[in-house]
């Protein structure tokens, strides 16, 4: 269970907004949805080859006070670090806490 005192990281929840790049593709601009306090808990890490380079991937559970506007298409930023939200969970279904299972991409 999470205690309020565990929420010691200042986090920014961001949503991607796509715009046409003029060449048939799209650009993604990240827009702040909310700034919240949360707990960032590392779960596991691994290395993978991505775009012909070695990249580290770290899985985290990020816990914030419950919000119903957070979806897996968003990301959470902590300073220069960014975490792609893979899944959101309301573990006790009482709308007290929101658990976001995330992946952090680390260049290696």
Report residue 84 as tokens.
Answer: 């792609």
Buried b (16+ CB within 10 A) or exposed e, 36-51: bebbbeeeeeeeeeee
Topology at the third CATH level for domain 4-107: Thrombin, subunit H (2.40.10)
Query: Is 108's pLDDT higher than 60?
Result: no
Please report, for the chain, the start and end positions of each structural domain, with discontinuous segments joined by +: 4-107
Render pLDDT for 65-98 as a digit per residue (tens, 0 to 9). Answer: 999 999 999 999 999 999 999 999 999 999 999 9
Rounded to whole angstroms, the Cα distance separating 3 from 18 reads 36
pTM: 0.81
Report residue 18 as tokens.
Answer: 């796509």
The SS3 call for residue 8 is coil
């Amino acid at each position: 269970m999470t205690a309020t005192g565990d929420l010691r990281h200042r986090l920014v929840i961001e949503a991607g907004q796509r715009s046409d790049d003029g060449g048939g593709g799209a650009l993604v601009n990240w827009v702040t949805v909310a700034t919240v306090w949360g707990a960032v808990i590392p779960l596991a890490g691994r290395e993978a080859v991505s775009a012909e380079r070695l990249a580290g991937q770290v899985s985290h559970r990020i816990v914030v006070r419950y919000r119903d506007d957070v979806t897996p298409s968003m990301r959470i930023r902590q300073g220069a670090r960014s975490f792609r939200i893979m899944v959101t969970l309301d573990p006790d279904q009482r709308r007290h806490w929101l658990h976001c299972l995330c992946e952090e991409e680390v260049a290696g």
